[in-house]
């Protein structure tokens, strides 16, 4: 079936602007994760949703970052007042509930802040 | 929190040779260890995973071993092929797989024909 879908694949914007990144998880997956990957690094955890609620948002770097998942499926990561240091690839992963379910990643959104 | 270290950062092998990538973790409560392959411009793709109640797992040319006492785990690729060339990441998770993954910094594997 279809995998995790992320849009847009690339986003270029100016410093100070607001951006939204979208994630469509695998159908039926109740767990959804956002990670951020800088060049030459492994992905770093941002936030995890179980259903509609954020079960763990301890990885969000500051209050400019926010994410929602209002209906328990699609999620949107929102970044306010973007800074050049926010430039990275933002990855989304989903997992079915229950023990022993691995996380499946989308191809990410490459965000560039000019 | 968990700290995952991965070595080497780069690895070059001849086609047909074996490749081994090693990771260590710091949190003894971690009990799930996946390995991902990432090609340029793509997201990480799960290739194999192992739980702490198992010492070794194999899937065709790929195997993973886990030493809980020493807190390290390794990826073994046999009979390497040029299409195995990619960046490989190890990761660790505490508790159930519903939890966050802590990733290593990655290993760039190059397989020369």
pLDDT at B98 over 70: no
Q: Model confidence over A56-69: pLDDT tens digits? A: 899 999 999 999 99
- Mutation target among B47, B51, B98, B106 for the A interface, most CBs of A within 10 A: B98
Peptide bond connecting B70 to the previous residue in cis, omega within 30 degrees of 0: no
**In this complex, is the C-beta atom of B43 within 8 Å of any C-beta atom belonging to chain A?**
yes
Are the CB atoms for B79 and B88 separated by under 8 Å?
A: no
pLDDT band at A77 (very low <50, low <70, confident <90, very high): very high
**Percent of the residues in chain B that have a pLDDT greater than 90, as a whole number:** 82
* pLDDT at position B96: 47
Q: How far apart are CA B92 and CA B55, in angstroms?
A: 15
Q: How far apart are CA A31 and CA B101, in angstroms?
A: 13
Per CB-CB distance under 8 Å, the chain A contacts of B43 are: 4, 91, 93, 105-108
| Among B69, B40, B77, residue whose Cα is nearest residue A108 | B40
Any bridge partners for residue B86, and if so which? B109
Residue A43 exposure: Cα atoms within 13 Å on the Cβ side: 35
pLDDT at A99 over 60: no
Per CB-CB distance under 8 Å, the chain A contacts of B53 are: none
Q: What residue of B is the nearest CA neighbor of A58? A: B100
CA distances to A62, A68, A85 from A55, in Å: 17, 12, 26
Query: Which of the listed ranges A46-55, B57-66, B96-105 does the model predict with the highest average pLDDT?
Result: B57-66
Q: Model confidence over B8-60: pLDDT tens digits? A: 999 999 999 999 999 999 998 888 999 999 999 999 999 999 988 889 999 99
Are the CB atoms for A56 and A87 separated by under 8 Å?
A: no
Q: How far is B66 from chain A (nearest CA, A)?
A: 17
Scanning the structure block, which residue is given the tokens 């198992």?
B54
* pLDDT at position A97: 74
φ/ψ (deg, to 5) at B82:
-55, -30
Per CB-CB distance under 8 Å, the chain B contacts of A101 are: 97-98
* pLDDT at position A100: 55
Q: Which of B42, B43, B101 sits opposite A45 (nearest CB)?
A: B101
pLDDT at A43 over 50: yes
Are the CB atoms for B80 and B15 separated by under 8 Å?
A: yes
**In this complex, is the C-beta atom of B105 within 8 Å of any C-beta atom belonging to chain A?**
yes
Task: Compute the average pLDDT of residues B79-92.
Answer: 97
Per CB-CB distance under 8 Å, the chain B contacts of A102 are: 34, 46, 49, 97
């Amino acid at each position: 079936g279809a995998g995790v879908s992320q849009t847009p694949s690339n986003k270029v914007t100016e410093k100070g602007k607001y951006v939204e990144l979208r994630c469509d998880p695998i159908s039926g997956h109740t767990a959804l994760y956002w990670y951020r990957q800088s060049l030459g690094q492994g992905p770093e955890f941002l936030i995890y949703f179980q259903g509609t609620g954020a079960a763990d948002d301890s990885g969000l770097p500051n209050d400019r970052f926010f994410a929602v998942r209002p209906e328990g499926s699609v999620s949107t990561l929102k970044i306010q007042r973007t800074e050049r240091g926010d430039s990275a690839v933002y990855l989304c992963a989903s997992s079915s509930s229950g023990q022993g379910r691995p996380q499946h990643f989308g191809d990410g959104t490459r965000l560039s802040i000019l | 929190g968990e700290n995952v270290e991965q070595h080497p950062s780069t690895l070059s092998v001849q086609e047909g040779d074996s490749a081994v990538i090693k990771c260590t973790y710091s949190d003894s409560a971690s009990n799930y260890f996946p390995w991902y392959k990432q090609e340029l411009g793509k997201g990480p793709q799960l290739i194999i995973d192992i739980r702490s109640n198992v010492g070794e797992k194999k899937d065709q040319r790929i195997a993973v071993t886990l030493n809980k006492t020493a807190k390290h785990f390794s990826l073994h690729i046999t009979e390497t092929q040029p299409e195995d060339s990619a960046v490989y990441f190890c990761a660790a998770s505490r508790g159930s797989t519903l939890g966050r993954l802590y990733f290593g910094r990655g290993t760039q594997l190059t397989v020369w024909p």
